[in-house]
Amino acid sequence: MCFDESRMRGNGQTRWRTDATLLRLGHPAMTKSAKRLQRLLWENSATSESPFSRWSVEVSDQISKPCFEVATLRIARNKLREPVLAELDVTTHSFSDGTMMSDGVRANLGQKIDGTIATALQQKIRIAWLNSSTTVQELTQNRTKNWLEDLDHRLSIALSASLADEKKAYEKRMRELKKSTERNENSIERIRIELERWEERSLQLTLEGYRLPKAVAKTEEMKAKLVDAEFKRRRVHVDEQIERLRKEKSRVLEKVTPMRFTRRGAPQVWPLGVRVILPTSEVAS
């Protein structure tokens, strides 16, 4: 399998190799491989028992005690596989036992340690994380659970509002279509009355009352038939539109909208990394 077009041709060859296949970005194998790589990089069960594998060590004068800052990205999707909500969760934990000190506020960017980190400091950070990792993961899971409960509540409220709005919009459109046929019926009735008046006038103003009125009546009769045929055609068209709207209304209200406002399975929780923030006195000592 090749990813570059130049690798598909041998030296001085104009034809592509028969023992290789070119995989472009849109190839199904490329899409599957990219998703597999994404799972291996981010999902907890695909990496190791500890999902946190990205670390940074910083020194700051604004803190007096060392701490861990943990960042996770949560993405929830609906049953249409659309992203419903994506949220970055940042929590700060104690260096000693992993208890949460604050949430939602990121610490200011500290300074990097010049050179390599001392072995003693690395060992201290490793031991502190081993003592705190279980507590941090449990807190992260509990926060995700509470986040999901709040999201489900908000989705249920949004679902009720969306169903009411969609139903109102469909009913309004169907009423407008029905009124349009009623207006056409009234206008046709007015046309018929005018035709009768013109027929009476034609009978009064002509000297050949036995011939011209018959011709006028025949002409007006044909016009009336044309008007009736046009009205029937429009009414059939409107009835078809109303029937399509009823079917679309049923599909949207019973399938599409509930799936759009219903969460699909568990959310994706991606650990972005852990910031180890140390006070300057801790590093200097």
How far apart are alpha carbons 285 and 280 in whole angstroms? 9
Q: Where are the domains of the chain?
A: 1-42, 49-161+265-284, 164-260
- What's the whole-number average pLDDT of the chain? 78
Q: What is the pLDDT of residue 122?
A: 84
Q: pLDDT-derived band of residue 249, with 50, 70 and 90 as boundaries?
A: very high
- Model confidence at 220, pLDDT cuts 50, 70, 90, reads low
pLDDT band at 255 (very low <50, low <70, confident <90, very high): very high
Query: Cβ neighbours of residue 242 under 8 Å, at least 6 residues apart?
Result: 174, 177, 178
CB neighbours (10 Å) of residue 274?
20
Lowest mean pLDDT among 132-136, 145-149, 177-181, 230-234: 230-234
Q: In this model, does residue 275 exceed pLDDT 70? A: yes
Whose structure tokens read 């929830």? 76
Segment 79-115, tens digit of pLDDT:
998 889 888 888 888 887 778 887 777 767 777 777 7
Phi and psi of 163, rounded to 5°? -60, -40
CB burial of residue 13 (10 Å; 0-12, 13-18, 19+): exposed
| Stretch 127-134: mean pLDDT | 86
